[in-house]
Amino acid sequence: MFGLAMASALAGQSIPKDSIVWYANDYFNKSFNESRRNSTLAQTYADSSRLLYEMAGEAFGVARYDFSMGVIERHRGNFPKAKSHLRTFLEAAMAERDTLMMAGAYFQLATILQNQGLLDEAIEHEYLSIRLYEAVGHHYATADSYTNLGIIYRKLKQFEESEKQYLRALEIDEGLNDLDGQAAANANLGNLYADQGRYEDAIVRYRQAMHFDSLNNSEWGLAYDHEDIGNMLNQQENYQKGLEEHLTALNIRRKLPHRREMAIGYQNAGNTYHKLNRLDLALMYLDSAETIGQEIETLEMLSEIAKTKSEIYAQANDFRQAYTQNKKYNKLRDSLLHQGITDKINTLNAQFETELKENQIALLHTENELKSIQLNAKKKQLIGSLIVLVIIILFASVVYWLYKKTVAQKTVISQNLEEKEILIREIHHRVKNNLQFISSLLNLQSEHVDDQLALSALQEGQDRVQSMALIHQNLYQEDNLTGVKIQDYFIKLIRNLFDSYNIRKDQIALELDVEDLNLDVDSVIPIGLIINELVSNCLKYAFPGKRSGQIRVQLHEIQNQLVLAVSDNGQGISPQHVEELGSSFGYRLIKVFQKQLDADLAVTNQDGMQVQMRIRKYRKNT
């Protein structure tokens, strides 16, 4: 309340704008610092900072309120509200070109996504935050990002890489004398060692974490320390001692306004009571955890709770409830599975390590060049006259000035290119998400349609939308933002079509003969939609009655033309169906793209149906 009173008092006086902005910045920083310890006080500071920014006419300062509330709601465990605030702020930070605040928003979003179990999106946001923090030299935040990466690697059982990230964060925190950071890094190392069965090493790290949290008067951190020790004792099957630690952590968290941490406390206590075979108490604590988990939408936690409750009900011979909970668990688990996360992390990490080494090599090269220049200057001073020396100094000054100017220009250009790349990736990501949303709407609509003709049209529309969404997904996941690897794209596209029509691998075989080309996105979109139509027709009409067969898809570049061919060994196409095909929307779509691509189209009907298209108007990505 003091902050609001102070802001109101300033509003009634004639205060210089610089002073008002200073107070606003001070309250903004205090809000961030208190968000974890006392969210109510933090919100008071945030309200005060917004009022003062409004008084000073600072539009971007007012936008910072969304950042403050996003952080506060994250610590409260209200993830939907937190994400809404942070995404609103991120748009303002991008418009303002504020690199540091963009990095902060990506870091906060990455933490929320990780807590929700959405690891693929969390990884993307974490690496964006690291690159931006490194660009502005923010070491505290860089250390926090390394710690979060260590947590992700630990969840993926990549223990060696996890330890590497934690130790990197700890080294930075020790250099900065950051008590919070040292406590977090030591606690996470303890968790890692406990997972590996290195319990003596783990307890040393936990004691270090408790030491730093006690020095910092961090009840939030101490609760985590007791929880971590409780988890380790449970791993050693010392459940009674583990329960004592978990109940201590829960009692601390009941005094704090953090919903997610409180849910974790209830879940840990419930799990430990289950191990002690005290089933009624286990269900009571798990029900409390589930209530909060549903409120803050933590899919990973809800999945774990459903699995544990299923085991408890089965143990109590209540098989109906056990089945219900197991069904809920399977549904939640399916939503958390994301193929290729490990490969994606390794790729991004390799890129990051390569860039780090290149920067170090460039720095050493610059230092060597500087030493060489200094040695040459000394030799010239010994053998040169005063006139020559003056000329050298003047020349060196001009060269140095030009060098500094060039370096400054390169730095600005590099930063602008990096920010544009981030913006382009964000655009492709949003386009992909919007197309995915449209596909989901079509899928939902199809569930309420009984007419087979309408249902087929909805499914075809959904497949077309999905073919375009795959393009944008490839663009934001790859380094190249304008080109698509056509071989990978065809595999994913046709796999989706097989899944859409419920085709088993042993029913229809797919032979894919596609040259390894990288095409511009403007060429890939019509080609992708053509493939979608042709393969869909094969799946629908070539093999009636679930007959087995083969579909062959070919794409090669021959004499500056793309030769695209789709064929099957099915029943072929009847004259009646030829007339129907000519008037269908899909066939008209192919004709439009044929004209757009300046292509020749040939259809033959022998031993199945064969369609060949020779495309003259296309562009490869360089």
pLDDT at 265: 92
In 97-218, where does DSSP find H-type helix? 99-115, 119-136, 139-155, 159-176, 179-195, 199-215
> Is 491:461 a contact under the CB 8 Å cutoff?
no
Q: What is the pLDDT of residues 226-279, one digit of tens each?
A: 999 999 999 999 999 999 999 999 999 998 877 888 899 999 999 999 999 999
Which residue in the block uniquely carries the two structure tokens 């369609």? Answer: 611
DSSP secondary structure string for all residues of 100-121: HHHHHHHHHHHHHHHHTT-HHH
Lowest mean pLDDT among 24-33, 336-345, 482-491: 336-345
Burial of 584 (0-12, 13-18, 19+ CB in 10 A): middle
Q: Under a CB-based contact definition with an 8 Å cutoff, are residues 112 and 71 in contact?
A: no
> Are 202 and 194 in contact, with CB atoms under 8 Å apart?
yes
Q: Which two tokens stand for residue 283?
A: 């269900």
Q: Which residue has the tokens 């005094």?
A: 255
Are 552 and 565 in contact, with CB atoms under 8 Å apart?
A: yes
Instruction: Say what percent of the chain tops pLDDT 90.
Output: 32
Give pTM, 2 decimals.
Answer: 0.45
- Do the Cβ atoms of 553 and 536 come closer than 8 Å? no
Q: Is the pLDDT of residue 293 over 70?
A: yes
Residue type present at position 127: Y
- Average pLDDT value for the chain: 80
Identity at 609, one-letter amino acid code: M
pLDDT, tens digit, 9 for 90 and up, residues 327-377: 888 888 776 664 334 434 444 453 454 355 445 434 544 554 555 566 565
3-state secondary structure of 571: coil
Q: Which pLDDT score is estimated for 277?
A: 94
Which 3 state secondary structure label does DSSP give 615?
A: strand
Q: 597, 591, 583, 455: which is closest to 519 by C-alpha?
A: 597
Name beta bridge partners: 120: none
CA distances from 425 to 91, 288, 484, 523 (A): 14, 40, 14, 19
Query: What is the Cα–Cα distance from 399 to 409, expressed in whole angstroms?
Result: 15
Which tokens sit at 465? Answer: 């939308």
DSSP summary character for residue 601? E
Residues 6+ apart with CB under 8 A from 257: 38, 39, 40, 75, 76
What's residue 605's pLDDT?
84
pLDDT value, residue 519: 87
* Residues in contact with 100: Cβ distance below 8 Å, sequence separation at least 6, in sequence order: 132, 133, 136, 138
- Residue 461 backbone class (left: φ over 0; alpha: ψ -120 to 50; beta: rest): alpha
Asked whether the predicted pLDDT for residue 591 surpasses 60, the reply is yes
pLDDT digits (tens, 9 = 90+) for 333-347: 776 664 334 434 444
Q: How confident is the model at residue 614 (pLDDT cuts 50, 70, 90)?
A: very high
Domain ranges of the chain: 1-96, 407-481, 483-615
Token pair of 124, please? 């993307």
Residue 93, pLDDT score: 92
pLDDT at residue number 344: 46
Spatial separation of the C-alpha atoms in residues 565 and 555, rounded to whole Å:
7
| SS3 per residue for 291-344 | HHHHHHCCHHHHHHHHHHHHHHHHHCCCHHHHHHHHHHHHHHHHHHCCCCHHHH
- Could you give the CA distance from residue 86 to residue 275 in angstroms, rounded to a whole number? 40
Q: What are phi and psi of 6, to 5 degrees?
A: -65, -45
Euclidean distance between the first and the last CA atom of the chain, given in angstroms as a whole number: 60
| Tokens matching residue 211 | 């030491």
Task: Check whether 280 has a pLDDT greater than 90.
Answer: yes
Q: Alpha-carbon distance 228 to 245, whole Å?
A: 9
CATH architecture of 483-615: 2-Layer Sandwich (3.30)
Task: Find, among 523, 591, 592, 584, the residue nearest to 555 by Cα.
Answer: 523
Per-residue pLDDT of 187-231, as tens digits, reads 999 999 999 999 999 999 999 999 999 999 989 899 989 999 999
What is the C-alpha to C-alpha distance for residues 438 and 129, in angstroms, rounded to an integer? 29
Q: Would the pLDDT of 461 be above 90? A: no
* Two structure tokens written together for 118: 């959405």
What is the pLDDT at residue 341? 46
The bridge status of strand 561-568 relative to strand 518-520 is unpaired
**Across 43-52, 317-326, 444-453, 518-527, least confident range:** 444-453
Average pLDDT over residues 529-546: 85
Segment among 20-34, 132-146, 580-594 with least mean pLDDT: 580-594
**Three-class SS of residue 233?**
helix
